[in-house]
Amino acid sequence: MDLTAPEWHRPTLEDVAQRAGVSRATASRVVSGSHPVSERRRSAVLRAVADLQYVPNQAGRSLVSRRTGSYALVLPEGMGQVFSEGFFPTLIRGATAELEESDEQLVILLAGSAAGRRRIEQFVRGGHVDGVVLASVHDRDPLPGLLAGTGVPVVCCERAYGDVQLPCVGVDNAGGAAAAVRYLKRIGRTRIATVAGPSSTPAGQDRLGAYLRETVRGHRRPLVAEADFTVEGGRAATARLLAEEPRIDGLFAASDLMAVGALEALRRAGRRVPEDVAVVGFDDVDCARTAEPALTTVHQPIEQLGRQLVRLVQRLAAGEEAGPALVLPTALVLRDSA
Amino acid sequence: MDLTAPEWHRPTLEDVAQRAGVSRATASRVVSGSHPVSERRRSAVLRAVADLQYVPNQAGRSLVSRRTGSYALVLPEGMGQVFSEGFFPTLIRGATAELEESDEQLVILLAGSAAGRRRIEQFVRGGHVDGVVLASVHDRDPLPGLLAGTGVPVVCCERAYGDVQLPCVGVDNAGGAAAAVRYLKRIGRTRIATVAGPSSTPAGQDRLGAYLRETVRGHRRPLVAEADFTVEGGRAATARLLAEEPRIDGLFAASDLMAVGALEALRRAGRRVPEDVAVVGFDDVDCARTAEPALTTVHQPIEQLGRQLVRLVQRLAAGEEAGPALVLPTALVLRDSA
DNA sequence: CTGAAAGCGCTTACAG
DNA sequence: CTGAAAGCGCTTACAG
């Protein structure tokens, strides 16, 4: 069989059936495994499939089954750099692993420009996927609204904003952040500042909220600088913090990347970590381990998050209820920076 | 129109046609814009489309047109971290921008486990996409082989290995690396070492090859340590290099990430950059600008690479010839590290 | 320019 | 268990 010959055409179910000497219906039944078929015909069909390298045409199949066997994961293009350090790759790994169990395919879409988001909407409406996972949603993100009316199930990380109420899977941001700040207090730190994440994101909001509660509870003055989850942002925010209050002895950064930036700013300012300033991060991605000193940080079960998001959207696609919102636990991991 | 009602079904072309008082054929012609239609009917159809929020079902459409309007970009999962710093995001941006012009969608697939690669093969064979761009191919990558027989056009970055000859778009790795080494010689460096990339990749091979040619030509002893394109790898390789030859005064790292690692290793070893050791990187991604000192590096037109890869695969999908292999130019960018 | 009809490749009641 | 037939939603010659 010359696959490069111009007149060659992909084998269809009809070809398989003919070669196996059965009806198209029977061939379909063994290929999809949907109905029992006599052993003789079954093996004949299987042999034909192998001989022909037959793979069902998805267009034909999904036209009638109304299923595609693939799910979309939508990543925000803008924040690519922010989360590149471990978060997205790990989330993708989890989602892929979960989908693998039902032999389904993960398709990643980047939401960039407004035009790009429209195209994603069309893509979803066009029936390319059975469900959508939004990896990151912020304040005024138009995507949940655009996708809400498509009839295709959509879920998201953390929590959706505005009027569109999407089913979500989150992590315990508040609990993790509170644990971090409490730990800093417990080891005797009294002037604890925070480098907060963007207030437009759930993670930014919730981690800051917990810091504030813990600080106020201890009758201490909150020291906050907001940054954008990046190394560079963390560095600049920490410099501002040091200018405002040079006697800082504890620092909670709302992401590991920002904590790495903080480490650099502190080094430049001549502060030793953890002796002068104890630093705690959030995420527990790779750079936490390789930082110098290695970061004490709040571990987030990112792979689990990916898995649970997929399970949720699969459940929805199967017509089941979303059930109560799921919040995954976080945990403080002690290393050298605090 | 209650989109959440269980009995609601997506509008079909038939619904549009009926609402507009035309035949299904006419409705199709205005929606796809394939044939001229009288102004009266045209606007009636358009109105119906808007009223119904009609979006063509891709399964039906591609079943007959044999086109999906989307292309796959396959990224290697393993190397995610390696290229996360700018390369892949930029490549994706270029590919997306190029596709945008024909209103087509980029779909990103991660090639992970062997099972995952099989699933990608099935996905492609199933007719989900009109073409495939392999973002990174190495030595014994089975993917080109798996995809070669699908009948779907496949192109790749740099160059394919083995017996499968895929059409490619590359950058002038050798020219860029040679320029870097020549520059180091021109500024008077005499003991020039290199941190090479993995010898399993075209970029690794070609950049090292150019270094060796330039070194041998100058009757100098080559000093090579191989690493994996990461910061950590660059750090370790540089430490080895310094152990082997402490008098190194020039260093060409085959990626910016490795150059950043080299900077750290040099700092720890008490060497000043560029005074004691002049360092040149390759890629010109974000971290080159933010490194301290800012990296002198070989600029690679990554976004163009993404665009040209898409153009190539689109051309193939349209039945045209691939044409001669395209090699994009590189250029040395002078900053502070050399 | 327009419509009736065929057909893309598949699955699924419906009879048997 | 099996096959003939209908139909998923769309496009495209074919007549007009």
Lookup: nucleotide whose C1' is closest to A39 CA: D1
CA distance A51 to B154: 23
Identify which of B84, B89, B290 has the shortest CB distance to residue A232: B290
- State which residue of chain A sits closest to B70, comparing Cα positions: A123
User: Could you tell me the pLDDT band of residue B3, with boundaries at 50, 70 and 90?
Assistant: very low
Question: What digits encode the pLDDT tens for the residues B31-58?
Answer: 988 888 999 999 999 999 999 999 999 9
Please tell me the predicted confidence (pLDDT) of residue A85.
Answer: 63
The DSSP 8-state label assigned to residue A229 in this structure reads S
Q: Does A81 contact B286 at a Cβ distance shorter than 8 Å?
A: yes
The C-alpha angle B211, B230, A260, rounded to 5 degrees, equals: 135
pLDDT, mean of residues B145-171: 87
Is the pLDDT at B82 greater than 90? The verdict is no
* The residue count for chain B: 338
Distance of CA A232 to the CA centre of its chain: 23
- In this prediction, residue B140 carries a pLDDT of 79
User: Across the interface, which of B8, B119, B126 has its CB nearest the CB of A58?
Assistant: B126
Residue B8: per-residue pLDDT: 66
Q: Is B218 on the interface with A (CB under 8 A)?
A: no
**pLDDT of A246 over the 80 cut:** yes
Give the Cα-Cα-Cα angle A240, A336, A226 (nearest 5 degrees). Answer: 25
CA-based nearest residue to B241, from B255, B257, B227, B260: B227
Angle, vertex CA B83, rays to CA A79 and CA B331, nearest 5? 105
In angstroms, the CA B223 to CA B208 distance is 11
Secondary structure tally for chain B: helices H, strands E: 14, 12
Q: How far is CA A270 from CA A246, A275, A288, A337, B86, in A?
A: 11, 11, 21, 15, 31
Q: Is the CB of A35 under 7 A from strand D?
A: yes
Beta bridge partners of A283: A299
In terms of CA atoms, which chain B residue is nearest residue A78? Answer: B89
Are B131 and B288 in contact, with CB atoms under 8 Å apart? Answer: no
H or E element, residue B192: strand B192-196
Percentage of residues in chain B having pLDDT higher than 90: 70
With a cut of 60, say whether residue A12 has pLDDT above it.
Answer: yes
pLDDT of residue A81: 56
Strongest mean pLDDT among B83-92, B146-155, B328-337: B328-337
Nearest partner of A280 among A170, A189, A157, A172, judged by Cα: A189
Number of H helices, E strands in chain A: 14, 12
* CATH topology (fold) of A70-171+303-328: Rossmann fold (3.40.50)
Band of residue B159 on the pLDDT scale cut at 50, 70, 90? confident
- Helices A13-20 and A39-52 meet at what angle, rounded to 10? 130
Task: Tell me the C-alpha distance between A165 and A158, whole Å.
Answer: 12
- Distance, in Å, from the CA atom of A119 to the CA atom of A114, rounded to the nearest integer, reads 9
CA distances from B34 to B39, B42, B67 (A): 14, 12, 14
Which residue is nearest nucleotide C3, judged by alpha carbon to C1' distance? B23
Average pLDDT over residues B112-138: 90
Instruction: Pick A115's closest partner by Cβ from B77, B100, B113.
Output: B100
Range B242-263 average pLDDT: 96
Mean local confidence (pLDDT), B89-95 = 89
**Which percentage of chain B shows pLDDT scores above 70?**
95
Say whether pLDDT at A289 is over 80. yes
Is it true that A13-56 and A70-171+303-328 share their CATH fold?
no
CB atoms near residue B102 (< 10 Å):
10
Q: Does B38 touch chain A (CB under 8 A)?
A: no
pLDDT for residue B256:
94
DSSP result, B73-117:
EEEESTTHHHHHTTHHHHHHHHHHHHHHTTT-EEEEEEE-SHHHH
pLDDT per residue as tens digits for the range A47-89: 999 999 999 999 999 999 999 999 999 988 765 554 556 788 8
Residue B15 identity (one-letter amino acid): D
What angle (nearest 5°) sits at the alpha carbon of residue A267, between those of residues A262 and A271? 100
pLDDT interval class at B247 (50, 70, 90)? very high
Strands across the sheet with A154-157, in order? A326-328, A168-171, A154-157, A131-134, A70-76, A105-111, B105-111, B70-76, B131-134, B154-157, B168-171, B326-328
Which of residues 70 through 129 in chain A touch B, CB cutoff 8 A? Answer: 70, 77, 80-81, 84-86, 89, 92-93, 96, 100, 103, 105-110, 112-113, 115-116, 119-120, 122-123, 125-128
Question: Which of A251, A241, A131 is closest to A180 using CA atoms?
Answer: A251
| Domain at A173-299, CATH homologous superfamily | Response regulator (3.40.50.2300)
DSSP states along A84-152: HTTHHHHHHHHHHHHHHTTT-EEEEEEE-SHHHHHHHHHHHHTT--SEEEES---TT-SHHHHHHTTSS
Name the residue among B329, B216, B234 with its Cα closest to residue B280: B234
The answer to whether the beta carbons of residues B162 and B202 sit under 8 Å apart is: no
HSE-CB of B97 using CA atoms within 13 angstroms: 14
How many residues are listed for chain A in this entry?
338
- CB distance B157 to B136 below 8 Å: yes
pLDDT of residue A141: 82
Q: Among A170, A182, A199, A219, which Cα is nearest to A296's?
A: A182
Asked if residue B175 lies in contact with residue B145, where contact means CB atoms within 8 angstroms, the answer is no
pLDDT bucket at B80, cuts 50 / 70 / 90: low
With contact defined as beta carbons under 8 Å apart, do A338 and A274 qualify? yes
- Does B177 score more than 50 pLDDT? yes
What pLDDT shows up at residue A7? 55
Q: Where are the domains of chain B?
A: 13-56, 70-170+303-328, 173-299
CA closest to A116 among chain B residues = B100
Residue B173: pLDDT over 60: yes
CA distance B71 to B131: 5
Mean pLDDT rounded to a whole number for chain A: 90
Return the structure tokens found at A327: 């919040």
> B33: which 2 tokens?
């814009």
Q: With contact defined as beta carbons under 8 Å apart, do B53 and B15 qualify?
A: no
Superfamily of structural domain B13-56: lambda repressor-like DNA-binding domains (1.10.260.40)
* Amino acid identity, position B265: A
- Per-residue pLDDT of B130-154, as tens digits, reads 999 998 877 778 889 889 888 899 9
Is A107:A70 a contact under the CB 8 Å cutoff? yes
Q: Is A50 on the interface with B (CB under 8 A)?
A: no
How big is the A-B interface in CB pairs under 8 Å? 120
Question: For A251-272, what is each residue's pLDDT tens digit?
Answer: 999 999 999 999 999 999 999 9
- Give the pLDDT mean for B16-28: 94
- Residue A8 predicted with pLDDT over 70: no
Q: At A138, list the tokens.
A: 């912020």
Check pLDDT > 60 for residue B63: yes
- Picking from A53, A107, A128, the nearest residue to B58 by CB comes out as A128
Whether the pLDDT of residue A45 is over 50: the answer is yes
B13 pLDDT band, cuts 50/70/90, is: very high
Least trusted range by pLDDT, from A313-322, B189-198, B206-215: A313-322
Distances (CA, A) of B131 to A175, B89, B165: 46, 20, 16
* pLDDT at site B114: 87
Q: Which residue has the higher pLDDT, B307 or B136?
A: B307
CA pair distance B280, B207, nearest whole angstrom: 12
Q: Is the CB of B41 under 7 A from strand D?
A: no
Q: What confidence category does residue A292 fall into, taking pLDDT thresholds of 50, 70 and 90? A: confident
Residue B86 has pLDDT above 90, yes or no: no
CATH number of B70-170+303-328: 3.40.50.2300
Question: Which residues in chain B are contacts of A105 at CB distance < 8 A?
Answer: 109, 119-120, 122-123
